[in-house]
Amino acid sequence: MVWVLYQDHYIYSLIFFQDKPIENLIREGIKASDLNDDKIGRVMDKLYKYGLTKIFLIIALEVVKKFGIETKYSHLDSSSLHLHGEYNNCLNNEEKEGENPINITQGYSRDHRPDLKQCILDLIVSSDGDIPLFLRGASGNESDKAVFAHILVSYSKQINFDSIMVADSA
């Protein structure tokens, strides 16, 4: 999940790992030279199949517990990330039929770039230092109004603490 913080780096590029503390990120005994693009690709496929939102929440809940993060209030918002290039729909492949990838497409552009395709990032953070608690990627044309209630209900079922949720009116 640390890769989210490195917006200007390609996470599938091995260059990304050259100056990172690999033993801290993966496990002891692993060096950057042990990694290759095939292995990174297989790991990314497994993470996707398990569910990135689920993995992120599991890690976030452990952080909340370990560091005593205050969760009395939580804040939900979304951001659009515009993208350059061609993005074709990959759902024509039979083996991917059961998967539900996000759709890189035109949508309401918060950064005033309606000419570019985009995706959406939904994020819930704590009021105690804006610690990310929940992260979800979404299609570029998704409306906050259509999903915020669902996100809040789903999130509240998965956490083991009470939290007053703050969000815009969408």
CA-closest candidate to residue 58, choices 163, 159, 165: 159
pTM: 0.77
> Is residue 94 predicted with pLDDT exceeding 80?
no
Least confident stretch, 42-46, 101-105, 140-144, 148-152: 101-105
Contact 156, 99 (CB under 8 A): no
pLDDT at 25: 85
- pLDDT tens sequence across 106-118: 888 888 888 889 9
Give the Cα separation of 168 and 129 in Å (integer): 19
pLDDT at 152: 94
